[in-house]
Amino acid sequence: MSEDSPLVSIIMGVHLDEGTLSSSIKSILNQSYNNFEFIIVNDGNDKEVTRVVNRIDDPRITLINQEKIGLTACLNIGIENSNGIFIARQDAGDFSQTRRLQAQVDYLLKHPSIALCGTFVNEKAESGHDLGITTFPTENTEIKKNIISKNTFCHGSIMINKEVLIEVGGYREDFTRAQDFDLWLRVIDRFKVANLDLPLYSRTISKNSISFKHGQNQDAYADVAIKCYRARLSDESEPLHLLKDITDESLNEKQSNKVEVKYNFYCGRKLYQNENMKVARGYFLKAFKLSPLSFKNTIFLLLTFLPKIIRTPIGCFWFLVKKLFRLKID
């Protein structure tokens, strides 16, 4: 790498501008850390995306117009065209706090044994309600212990050593969903990872996101990623052939209703955790109206009416029972 090459390459794949692309890009350009390049892959060669980027007109941006190939392939194209020692991600429409890159670069340089580093995340609902900070395990052992059972990274917040990324094979394009989760599992096979306990990244939680709209499909890909991970641990062949059995079905009215329920419960749950009972109640009520037979919707809706001195022990007892009996109640 030449002396003029940037230390960090930020990769963004974008398909459409939903009104926040310009602000999202500027949150990177306004970083306190300046030694970077910003590679934006326009997935589908959308004219409005091109116009937004051209209006900003910053020499640190490289725009790659690409036929529609999907996010996974776009990220690999961005990586192939990058020059940095570290690769950072930024999802279109999300925002990075001004000191995000500086904090991650400082951490990775200070801890050379760490290959990948994420951050905590500020979340907002589509309505604008502040859902609070989403935290993740911070230490390698804790992340490795929990990575199968719960989310341990926000994809858009990560920074990874490029040599490590190439060594593990980059993003696997067979994973059109859960490509990030598959990558994390391949990285922790051989390297240490971490999260900074700082909310340096912000995102709006949308019911149209893959996690809600295509959650079942994404879970199927994640399940294959886990099977591959366990196969590697046992020195067995990865069952990648299982990916061929996954179908991406369009949502019918009943499934769309489930997406609404899941989204409203998620927002209510986050607000509940942050003691904002009045607003949480509104989201739980929406979920309850859409799915009145859901036990968890009813439980949480009722809990929001109780004073904290009563609500807290009931909530603790509820979660203890669920954990002890491994209940998956809906």
Quote the CA–CA distance of 14 and 12 in Å, as a whole number: 6
CB 213 within 8 A of CB 126: no
Does 68 share its domain with 200? Answer: yes
> For position 163, which CATH number holds?
3.90.550.10
CB 37 within 8 A of CB 9: yes
Summarize pLDDT for 133-189 with one digit per residue, the tens: 999 999 999 999 999 988 899 999 999 999 999 999 999 999 999 999 999 999 999
Does 189 share its domain with 288? Answer: no
Residue 169 structure tokens: 């094979």
In the chain, % of residues over pLDDT 70: 95
Residue 18 domain-assigned (yes or no): yes
The last residue of one of the domains, among 206, 224, 248, is 206
Tally of structural domains, the chain? 2
Q: Kindly report the backbone phi and psi dihedral angles of residue 291, in degrees, each rounded to the nearest multiple of 5, phi listed first.
A: -145, 75
Show the domain range for 136.
8-206
Average pLDDT for 53-61 = 96
- Give the distance from CA 209 to its chain's centroid: 10
Residue 313 burial (C-beta neighbours within 10 Å; 0-12, 13-18, 19+): exposed
Tracing tokens 């989201």 back to the chain, one arrives at 283
Count other C-beta atoms under 10 Å from residue 64's C-beta: 16
Does 309 share its domain with 197? Answer: no
**70 or 329, which is more confident?**
70
Helix axes 308-325, 295-303, angle to 10 degrees: 150
Does 42 share its domain with 155? Answer: yes
The last residue of one of the domains, among 206, 232, 248, is 206
- Give the distance from CA 143 to its chain's centroid: 15
In sequence order, the 6+-apart residues with CB closer than 8 A to the CB of 19 are none
Summarize pLDDT for 296-316 with one digit per residue, the tens: 899 899 999 999 999 989 888
Which DSSP string corresponds to 106-133? HHHHH-TTEEEEEEEEEEEETT--EEEE
DSSP 8-state secondary structure symbol assigned to residue 39: E
Q: Kindly report the backbone phi and psi dihedral angles of residue 244, in degrees, each rounded to the nearest multiple of 5, phi listed first.
A: -70, -20
Summarize pLDDT for 112-130 with one digit per residue, the tens: 999 999 999 999 999 999 9
Does 202 share its domain with 277? Answer: no
Quote the CA–CA distance of 200 and 256 in Å, as a whole number: 32
Long-range contacts at 312-318 (CB < 8 A, ≥ 24 apart): none
Does 193 share its domain with 266? Answer: no
Residue 271 domain-assigned (yes or no): yes
What is the pLDDT at residue 1?
Answer: 43
What is the pLDDT at residue 253?
Answer: 62
Q: Kindly report the backbone phi and psi dihedral angles of residue 237, in degrees, each rounded to the nearest multiple of 5, phi listed first.
A: -70, 140
Residue 170 domain-assigned (yes or no): yes
Residue 247 domain-assigned (yes or no): no
Report field, pTM of the whole predicted structure over 0.85: yes
Summarize pLDDT for 26-45 with one digit per residue, the tens: 999 999 999 999 999 999 99
Residue 34 domain-assigned (yes or no): yes
User: Alpha-carbon torsion 223, 225, 228, 229, what sign?
Assistant: negative
